[in-house]
Amino acid sequence: MLLDRFFEKGRQFLGCRYPILCGAMTWVSNPQLVSHLGRCGGFGLLAGGNAPVAVLQQQIEETRSLSADPFGVNLITIAPAYAEQLDMVCRMKCAVVVFAGSIPRENDIHRAKESGARVICFAPTEQLALKLIKMGTDALILEGSEAGGHIGPVSLTVLIQQILFKVDSVPIFVAGGIATGRMMAHLLMMGAAGIQMGTRFVMSEECAVHPEFKETFRRAKARDAVATPQFDSRLPVIPVRALKNEGTDAFGKLQLDLIHKLETQAMDRMEAQFEVERFWMGALRHAVMDGDTKKGSLMAGQSVGLADRILPLQGIFDELLGDAENELQRLAQQLGE
C-alpha cells in the first residue's frame, strides 16, 4: 500500500499499526474506548482531566488489563491534581505522556522522559512549537482552532504552513477538523506523522457516551460548533468549541459573575479559573453521561458536520484507510501522466 510509506514515522514513534490518535476527551476516553482503538491499530489517549490520582491510576491499570496495545495518557497542566498525576504516571512508566492545557515546565518534560515515556506537547502557535522543541519534547501535536473542546487561536491550515512545512526535527501530528481518509492522505503527504481525531470517534459504537449525545452530534452542522468568547482579559479563559445550547449561554453568564467577583476582590484569578474548569467538567459530564443536551456541554469540533453516522470503530478505521489509499492511488496516477 502507498499509505504504508507515509505511516512509517508515526508508526515508529507511537508503536502502533496506524498513527491515528483518538484525542483525550474527559468522560469519553475511558479504558474501554482506548483499548478498542488499540485493537483496531490506532492509538488511544486516556484523559487525565480533573480526575483524582487514584481514579486515573485505576484507568491505566484497567486499560493495560484489557489490551497489550500501546496507549498514552493526557495530562492537563492546569488541573488541580496535575502534579500528583504526573508523579503517578512516571511511577507507572507510561509509554507516552501528552501535556496539554498550558506550557509544561521544562523539568516536567524531562521527568516524564526520564521515566521512559515519549513526550508529546500541543503547539497552538509557531513560537511555542519552537520553544517546546528546545525544552525537549519528543513530538508535537498541531491542533487547529477547528477542533472541539479547549482550543488554540490558529486554524490548522495556518499551523501547517507555519510549523509543519518548516520543522522536521521531531514528528508532528495534526488535529482539528479532520474526519475523512481523503483528508488524512493529504495531511500525510504534507509531512504529518499522523492525525488525531476526537469528534469522529465519538460516533463509534464502542464510545459509551449517552445516546442523546451521539444523536445531537449526528444532527449537527459544522457551523453549530462555536467557540466561546473571552469577555475580559482579567479572566483569561481558554476558548472552548462546543455545540451552541443553553450550556454555552450559561458559561457567558458565569464569566460575567466571575469578573464581578474579581472586581470586588471576592475571588482571586486562580480561583476564578478553577471555577471555569469546574463548570466545563461538570457540564460535560451532564451531557456525556446523563444525556443533558440542553444545559450540558456538547464539546465538538467543526468536523461534527462530517460525522453523521454511527459505525463500529473497525468500520471507521476501514473507511479511513480505504479512502486514504484510494486518494493516494488517484494522485499517483495523475502525477504519472
Whole-Å CA distances, 259 to 102, 151, 179, 251: 22, 22, 37, 12
Segment (H or E) for 150: strand 149-150
Are 52 and 159 in a shared domain?
A: yes
Q: Are residues 71 and 101 in the same domain?
A: yes
The confidence score (pLDDT) of residue 5 equals 95
- Residue carrying C-alpha cell 501522466: 337
* Phi, psi (rounded to 5 degrees) for 93: 50, 55
Judge whether 337 lies within some domain: no
Nearest CA-CA partner of 75 in 91, 87, 58, 93: 87
Residue 32 lies inside a defined structural domain of this protein? yes
Inside any domain, residue 129: yes
Same domain, 220 and 312: no
Residue 12 lies in a domain: yes
Q: In whole angstroms, what is the distance from residue 9 CA to residue 132 CA? A: 20
Q: What is the predicted pLDDT for the residue at 279?
A: 87
CATH of the domain at 104: 3.20.20.70
Residues 135 and 269 placed together within one structural domain of the fold: no
Q: What are phi and psi of 243, to 5 degrees?
A: -70, 130
| Alpha-carbon gap, residue 62 to 196, rounded angstroms | 23
Instruction: Tell me the C-alpha distance between 302 and 220, whole Å.
Output: 9
In a domain, 265, yes or no: yes
334 is a domain residue: no
How far does the chain reach from its first CA to its final CA, in angstroms?
20
Task: Give whole-number Cα distances, 81 to 55, 58, 88, 183, 269, in Å.
Answer: 11, 15, 11, 37, 18
Q: What is the DSSP letter of 267?
A: S
pLDDT lower than 50: segments of the chain: none
195 and 127 housed in the same domain:
yes
Range of the domain at 82: 2-209+306-329
Instruction: Tell me if residue 337 falls in helix, strand or coil.
Output: coil
Are residues 181 and 82 part of one domain? yes
**What are 196's strand-pairing partners?**
21, 175
Residue 287 confidence (pLDDT): 93
State whether 119 and 244 are in the same domain.
Answer: no
For residue 244, the one-letter residue type is: K
In this structure, the answer to whether residues 166 and 270 fall within a common structural domain is: no
The whole-model pTM stands at 0.94
Distance CA 28, CA 89 (A): 20
CA distance 227 to 239: 6
Is 300 contained in some domain?
no
H-helix segments, the chain: 2-14, 31-39, 53-66, 82-91, 106-114, 126-135, 156-159, 181-189, 199-202, 211-219, 246-263, 269-290, 313-336
Same structural domain for residues 184 and 160? yes
Domain count, the chain: 2
What is the predicted pLDDT for the residue at 99? 97
Which secondary-structure segment (H or E) carries 118?
strand 118-122
Could you tell me if 174 and 310 lie in one domain?
A: yes
In this structure, the answer to whether residues 176 and 286 fall within a common structural domain is: no
Q: Helices 82-91 & 106-114, crossing angle to 10 degrees?
A: 20
Residue 112 one-letter amino acid:
A
Q: Which residue has the cell 504552513?
A: 161
pLDDT in the model for residue 230? 84
Task: Note the pLDDT of residue 337.
Answer: 57
Domain assignment present for residue 52? The answer is yes
Q: For the residues of 167-217, what is the DSSP string, one character each?
A: --SS-EEEESS---HHHHHHHHHTT-SEEEESHHHHTBTT--S-HHHHHHH
User: 10: closest CA among 117, 170, 124?
Assistant: 170
